[in-house]
Chain A
Amino acid sequence: MEAGALASGHERTLTERIVSAIRGRPALVAVVVLAVIVLVMVAAKGLHDVAQTGLNGLSLGAVYALGAVGLTLVYGILRLVNFAQGDFLTFGAYMAYLVNVTWGLPLVLGIAVGMAMTALLAVSLELIIWRPMRAKRAGVMQLLLISIGLAFVIRAFVQYIWSTDIRSLDVNVTATVHFFGLTIGRTQLIVIVIGFVVLIATGLMLRLTLLGKRMRALSDDIELAETAGIDTSRVILYTWIFAGALAGLAGVLSGAVTSLDPVFGFQLLLPIFAAVVLGGIGDPFGALAGGIVLGLVIEWSTLFIAAQWKVTIGFAALIIALIIRPQGIFGKARAL
């Protein structure tokens, strides 16, 4: 009996040590867990399949990550759960459609216009609605319901002009690129490249530039940032430009690899929320990583489960992540 008590006592200290080691380095644990998952999958399904679905995961993940960065900054800075973010993606994609298909101009121009117009939309909404509502000291629920109303209005605008028909951007959908025995659509490859270049640029901008540091400072503690002499309403405007442009880009990229209809952006909203939550709300680097991880996990799940279930997997991951670790897999525990 004494020996049993001794053994269980020893075991407890060991578990405690493991737990405390995990607590200190959540990002490291996340990477290790991901690496283990990849190794298990490679062992079970072979390197080729894992790499092939991984490529799909990267393009999906880039879209999630681009949508999530702006959402998490707005959330962190303004305490605004912006349900209209998904419809920003829709709006950007249709602006690109206007330039690229209706006017027949190159897609690069379409991307630029899509980003610019979505940024303009985001800034206009800040000036017309969000700033006055902050002045009125509106609550979290009030802002949340307004953003749902805005999502409806944006979707209605798109549906009114372009109807509910499924549309495609003018991209080459048949050309493929082969390397290392893998096959990838040329458009999809371009999407991955553009997505990751912009994501890295975004990360550097947030890390190195003064504006990026100010954004993160606001997201961390807006009152402290204001006391420190930061012109908060200016930084908030830039944050909206940033969030709008990235959401517009995410919409165009998603539209390029799949197709456009008035609800596609809203359908991306929940996985984007999931990326935000995985990364820890208000943490833009976390949102980038969360988006990529989620895209990979969703596509890898198709190796084991029928592809029709992959969206469900994403939502289930969101629920589990929120319940188990509401501060995000990379986030540090803050008073929530």
Chain B
Amino acid sequence: MHLPLAISLNFLTDTGFWTGVLILAGVYALVALGLQLNMGFTGIVNFGAAGFMAVGAYSMAILTLKTGLSFWASLPISMLITIGFGFLLGLPSLRLRADYLAIVTIAASEVVRLVAQNARDLTGGNQGLFCEGAKCFDDQWRDVSDKIVGWLQDLGWSNPDQLVPLLLVVWLTVIVVTLGLVFAQRTPWGRVLRAVREDEDAARALGKNAFSYKLQSLSISAAIGAIAGWFLALDLATLHPLDYEPIVTFYAYAILVLGGLANYWGVLAGAVIFWVIVEGTRFLELGISEVRLAAIRFAIAGLILILIMVFRPQGLFGKRDEMVLGE
């Protein structure tokens, strides 16, 4: 007899599934770490994260494919470009109040995506951007990736998934960025950020340039967004405008509030929990089409946001006394 709602547990041992889910979780953990710095520690309502990722990823790929720069050289340059973008976005908009800032940043990220879609000569438009003749943007990464696969085989892992090297690099980066942010939060700089979040006027009255601190916070988040953008491009092996829709930012916010505000490590847990739940639906044997399954995944992401905000606004690991989305 066939149960209408049977869950196959094969996925627990499916390394392909775990590799894919954990790479996604790592990429989104990076995005959400940037948002945590903005939202959780500085009080900036940044909805432009997908735009930062797009600027970082597209400038990396365009530099590699169209200027003859190596992949490695294009990374720092594309990060600087993204920081510049974040800086220019923040300069006029960070004085706006929270709801206006949310709309401006989401509109800016949509402008970036629409430029990626329409400036076809540069970005490939809806065809996507991956190779130019025999040269692909990720050639040099693939060489390194193959080398890492070789090492893993030497260590006795007989047949690792092609994406395992990316998984390792992504999570190594996530850990380094998290440690860096946690450390920065303990410095006087980090304490000023929190002061700005709690009471901007008071921080200003104490002689701190609140605006400058907010701009720094947004720029750092842009830099982290660029890294997330590179990893997403390497994971998908292509760049497509649809991969940088506002929904990416919304998912990152779901992860942020799931993990809890003002807690960097919570974001990492939130990212893994979110993607295991959302991608785990692939193994629900409901006997329905892929489009409907996608709709269910969508609804689950929405319900996570609603339920957390209604019943536990401090998130799973947030500190209620430090930061709640009240007021």
Give residues in A with beta carbon < 8 Å to B. 81, 129, 133, 137-142, 144-146, 148-153, 155-157, 159-160, 163-164, 270, 273-274, 277, 306, 308-309, 311-312, 315-316, 318-319, 322-323, 326, 336
Q: Which residues of B contact A277 (CB under 8 A)?
A: 100, 103
From A148, A306, A322, contact of B104 by CB (8 A): A322
What 0/1 readout, one digit per residue, does chain B (254-281) give for beta carbons within 8 Å of chain A? 1001000000000000000000000000
- In the complex, how many angstroms separate the beta carbon of B297 from the nearest chain A beta carbon? 8
Inter-chain CA distance A155–B298, complex, in Å, is 8
CA distance A316 to B254 in the complex (A): 27
- Interface positions, chain B 171-212, Cβ under 8 Å from A, are none
Closest to B106 in A: A270
**Contacting pair A322 B93 (CB below 8 A):** yes
The smallest C-beta distance from B259 to any residue of chain A, in angstroms, reads 14
Residues of B with C-beta under 8 A to A151:
302
Interface residues on B, range: 35 or more
A163 and B325 in contact, given A323-B92, A323-B104 (Cβ under 8 angstroms):
no
Question: Contacts A141-B45, A164-B291; is A336 near B97 (CB within 8 Å)?
Answer: yes
SS class, residues of chain A in contact with chain B = helix
Q: Which residues of A contact B45 (CB under 8 A)?
A: 141
Contacting pair B302 A316 (CB below 8 A): no
Q: Are B302 and A150 in contact (CB under 8 A)?
A: yes
Are the CB atoms of A145 and B309 closer together than 8 Å? yes
Most B C-beta atoms less than 10 A away, residue of A133, A150, A160, A273: A160
Asked if B299 is an interface residue, CB under 8 A from chain A, the answer is yes
Contact residues, B98-155 vs A (CB, 8 A): 98-100, 102-104, 106-108, 110-111, 114-115, 118
**Bound form: Cα–Cα A151–B106 in Å:** 15
Instruction: Say whether B85 faces chain A, with CB atoms less than 8 Å apart.
Output: no
* Chain A residues within 8 Å of B102, by CB: 81, 144
Given A145-B309, A146-B305, the answer on whether A156 and B114 have CB atoms closer than 8 Å is no
Ordered nearest first, which 6 A-B pairs have the shortest CB separation? Answer: A152-B302, A149-B305, A156-B299, A149-B306, A159-B295, A160-B295
- CB-nearest residue of chain A to B299: A156
Note all chain B residues with C-beta closer than 8 A to A156.
295-296, 298-299, 302
CB distance from B15 to the nearest CB of A (A): 30
A280 to B296, CA, bound (A): 37
Max count, chain B CB within 10 A of own CB: residue among A152, A163, A270, A319: A152
Report if A152-B310 is in contact (Cβ < 8 Å); known contacts: A160-B295, A277-B103, A326-B100.
no
Q: Of all chain B residues, which has the CB nearest A151?
A: B302
Given the complex, which residues of B lie within 8 Å of A323, measured CB to CB? 92-93, 96, 104
Task: Kindly state the separation between the CA atoms of A141 and B46 in the bound complex, as whole angstroms.
Answer: 11
Q: Does B6 contact A (CB under 8 A)?
A: no
Given contacts A149-B302, A156-B295, A277-B103, 13 further A-B contacts (CB under 8 A): A138-B325, A140-B99, A141-B39, A146-B306, A148-B302, A149-B303, A149-B306, A155-B295, A156-B296, A273-B107, A316-B111, A319-B107, A336-B100
CB of B310 within 8 A of CB of A146, answer: yes
The answer, yes or no, to whether B321 is at the interface (CB within 8 Å) is no
A74, chain B: closest CB distance, angstroms: 12
Q: In this complex, what residue of A is CB-closest to B109?
A: A315
Q: Please name all residues of chain B whose beta carbon is closer than 8 Å to the beta carbon of A140 when the two chains form the complex.
A: 98-99, 327
CB of B319 within 8 Å of the partner chain: no
**Can you pick out 14 interface pairs between chain A and chain B where the beta carbons lie within 8 Å of each other?**
A141-B39, A142-B309, A148-B253, A149-B254, A149-B301, A149-B302, A152-B250, A153-B298, A156-B298, A159-B295, A160-B292, A163-B289, A164-B291, A270-B110
Contact yes or no, B302 A312, CB < 8 A? no
